[in-house]
């Protein structure tokens, strides 16, 4: 988790990060409803554009790594939708996303077209509960509130086998528009 400590102090980072295995970039782009036009933007540039056009459209950024497609959404939440996770994990793939913003936190996991986890790690172990579906790999001490963001990125790595590289936030990545 120490390699993700930077995330715990990235207070203005609002996004959804998804890791998909078993799909091509074209299939993932179609699953997100992304247009065909592409720009190469850094996360900061995409986030500024997203903020300027908040009611008009969202943005998704793609990074292919081995047999994974990483989707980064500045201030977006398409990758937090169960229907997108089901579709992109079907028939034999994997979809794992983490969403966080000042107003919420959500982890979503799907395998083989089925939702296998959907929860807010903020509430694990509390009487209110963590949400819909808490997968068996989540323990009461899995998501320390002081390190919630770094713990979420560590969970992405443990569940998918792909380590998040912070350079993906500074490198210009293919960026597409999606419906707002």
DSSP string, 106-170: EEEEEETTEEEEEE-GGGTTSTT-S-SB--TT--TTSS-GGGHHHHHHHHHHHHHS-PPPGGGGT
Q: Residue 2: what pLDDT?
A: 78
Backbone angles phi, psi at 105, to 5 degrees: -150, 135
Number of structural domains (the chain) is 1
Q: What is the pLDDT along the chain (180 residues), one digit of tens a residue?
A: 479 999 999 988 999 999 999 999 999 999 999 998 889 999 999 999 999 999 999 999 999 999 999 999 999 999 999 999 999 999 999 999 999 998 889 999 999 999 999 999 988 876 666 566 889 898 877 888 899 999 999 999 999 999 999 999 999 999 999 997
Of 56, 77, 72, 64, the residue nearest 26 (C-alpha): 64
């Amino acid at each position: 988790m120490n390699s993700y400590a930077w995330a715990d102090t990235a207070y203005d980072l609002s996004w959804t990060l998804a890791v998909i295995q078993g799909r091509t970039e074209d299939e993932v782009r179609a699953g997100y409803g992304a247009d065909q036009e592409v720009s190469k933007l850094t996360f900061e540039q995409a986030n500024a554009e997203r903020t300027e056009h908040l009611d008009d459209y969202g943005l998704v950024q793609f990074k292919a790594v081995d047999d994974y497609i990483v989707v980064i959404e500045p201030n977006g939440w398409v990758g937090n939708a169960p229907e997108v996770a089901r579709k992109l994990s079907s028939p034999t793939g994997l979809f794992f996303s983490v969403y966080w913003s000042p107003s919420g936190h959500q982890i979503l996991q799907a395998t083989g077209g089925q939702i296998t986890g959907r929860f807010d790690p903020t509430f694990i172990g509390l009487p209110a509960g963590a949400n819909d579906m808490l997968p068996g790999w989540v323990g009461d001490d899995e998501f320390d509130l002081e390190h919630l963001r770094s713990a979420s990125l560590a969970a992405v790595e443990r569940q998918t086998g792909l380590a998040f590289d912070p350079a993906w936030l500074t490198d210009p990545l293919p960026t597409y528009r999606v419906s707002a």
